[in-house]
A and B are shown apart, each in its own frame.
Chain A
Amino acid sequence: MLMTSGPWVWIAGLLTLAIYSFLYKDNPFYKVAEYIFVGLSAGYWAVFLWWNYAYPNLFVPLGEGNYWNIIPIVLGFMMFTQLSKRTSWLVRFPLTFVLGVSLGLQVIAAVEGDMVPQLQGTFSPFAKGALFNTYNFWTSIGLIVLLVGVLSTLTYFFFSREHKGVLGVTSKIGVYFLMVAFGASFGYTIMARISLLFGRLHFLLSDWMHILR
């Protein structure tokens, strides 16, 4: 990476400390760092979108005679009509085009990319018969747990009937499955957060201060 030595690494180090100063309390150093971050990020996205997509895929082909590209460019520019109250209704044209395409794809993706394979994954191990002959003991138990868990969790989210009797017991089991899953997410979240802290502290101690080798 381009974080080697000289003034740049000092800038990176001091900005890191400016953000950490928030841990003591909110202060101007943190705020300056925060606003620099927002400004730079916005500029970064604009530059990358231009050089990686808008320029090569929209404007270069247009220059080469692909006049169909006028349509997305015009619809794209119509997004800017939102900036004025008088013309803001025009934004509905690009917006509905974009929504139409993405929602259409979403319907198909939810069915063929998620629901069908997920239900297959839940039920197909049982269709093969002889569960315990096909898989080892703990996998077989796991697959039964998986089936019970999916059905009971779905029952918990079924709000059209009062959760009483069999429905009540099943949804209660579902709650315990959800708790295990939330516990798992919590455990993994700790790892994620510590990783980020490790990354920054490692940078401060090695690249900046050269205490660590």
Chain B
Amino acid sequence: MSILERISNLDRRIIFLTVAIAVIVPLFLPLRLPIEVTPPVQQLYDVIDSMPARSVVLISIDYDPSGAPELQPATLSIMRHCFAKDLRVLVLGLWAPGVPLGVSALEEVAVGEFGKEYGVDFVNFGYKPGGAVTLVNLGRDVHDVCRQDHNGTPVDSLSMMDDVRAANDIGLVISMSMGIPGSDQWIWYYHARYRGNLATAQTAIGAPKYYQYLQSGQLVGLIGGMKGAAEYERLVGRRGLATVGMDSQSISHLLIIGFVLLGNIIYWLEKRKK
């Protein structure tokens, strides 16, 4: 067997091993390469930064554990920014498996870091089924869709909700999304009817699709994947898991580009031989 054939028939488990090594090694030998902030992330930061104190930001947790490595760091950073600016935060989830992640983020940031008070500074509505249809109703009457919060407390009894009744009372919606229902539904069903500011944080797979909505002005910001989350971490000045992960991303990306080029070199050499 020639060297070319040997390389092209490389056992897939060896490839698997190289990927694991490419991710693990930078965890022990960090490169700490600088992270550039891109315009879509900066735009979202600027929108939140310019909101008057006590404005309401709705964060929709539209992801599950498989989206957490990319979206949870973004959720934490956005919450940090909101509470640092004394904004009020509403959390709900269009994906049931994401709700505990929202609870955990609020516990860590709102309660743990900022000492904010539940029902006054933030409220968690929990999971809301119905996707698009729920969003149409939500914009018209928040209290109708969210009768009880995540813990079963009647929403009418929470003082923060006295002046939050409909879409007009919400200054910014951010959909942390990894699929359907998610940002698509927020854009088509909620923003199209009620306008206002809408932004999204996406897993990297979904992000390319949302540049068109950024260009058309339907979105005021876009955080794409772990890189976007790392950019937001840089903007709020707090190194988190996304920033740590960028070194692993760098090395793995180089490895995969290497594999693509190697595969093509072998392909061209074999083609020339034939």
Does A touch B (CB under 8 Å) in the complex? yes
Q: Range of interface residues on chain B?
A: 35 or more
Taking a contact as CB atoms under 8 Å apart, the answer to whether A201 and B23 are in contact is yes
The residues of B that contact A32 with a CB separation of less than 8 Å are none
The residues of A that contact B51 with a CB separation of less than 8 Å are none
Taking a contact as CB atoms under 8 Å apart, the answer to whether A189 and B205 are in contact is yes
- Contact surface of B with A, Cβ cutoff 8 Å: 13, 16, 19-20, 23-24, 27-28, 66, 68-70, 96-97, 99, 101, 104, 126-130, 132-133, 136, 147-148, 150, 152, 187-189, 191-193, 203-205, 207-208, 212, 215-218, 224-227, 241, 244-245, 248-249, 252-253, 256
Q: How many residues of A contact B (CB 8 A)?
A: 49
Taking a contact as CB atoms under 8 Å apart, the answer to whether B212 and A118 are in contact is yes
Taking a contact as CB atoms under 8 Å apart, the answer to whether B191 and A198 are in contact is no
A63 and B262 alpha carbons, distance in the complex (Å): 68
Residue in A118, A185, A191, A200 with the greatest tally of chain B CB atoms within 10 Å: A191
Give the nearest-CB partner of A114 in chain B.
B188
Interface residues of B, dominant DSSP: helix
Give the nearest-CB partner of A45 in chain B.
B96
Taking a contact as CB atoms under 8 Å apart, the answer to whether B133 and A101 are in contact is yes
Enumerate 30 A-B pairs (CB-CB under 8 Å) in ascending A order: A48-B99, A52-B126, A52-B128, A53-B128, A102-B133, A105-B132, A105-B133, A109-B189, A113-B189, A114-B192, A117-B192, A121-B215, A121-B216, A184-B208, A185-B208, A188-B208, A189-B204, A190-B252, A192-B70, A194-B248, A195-B70, A195-B203, A195-B225, A196-B70, A197-B20, A197-B23, A198-B23, A199-B68, A201-B20, A202-B27
Q: Mark A36-78, 1 if CB is under 8 A from B, else 0.
A: 0000010011001101110011001100000000000000000
Taking a contact as CB atoms under 8 Å apart, the answer to whether B215 and A146 are in contact is yes
The residues of B that contact A102 with a CB separation of less than 8 Å are 132-133
User: Does A138 count as interface, using CB distance less than 8 angstroms?
Assistant: no
Taking a contact as CB atoms under 8 Å apart, the answer to whether B97 and A44 are in contact is yes
Give the nearest-CB partner of A98 in chain B.
B133
The residues of A that contact B218 with a CB separation of less than 8 Å are 117
Taking a contact as CB atoms under 8 Å apart, the answer to whether B215 and A48 are in contact is no
Q: Which of A52, A113, A192 contacts B192 (CB 8 A)?
A: A113
Within the complex, what minimum Cβ distance (angstroms) separates A156 from chain B? 17
Q: Which of A52, A117, A185 contacts B216 (CB 8 A)?
A: A117
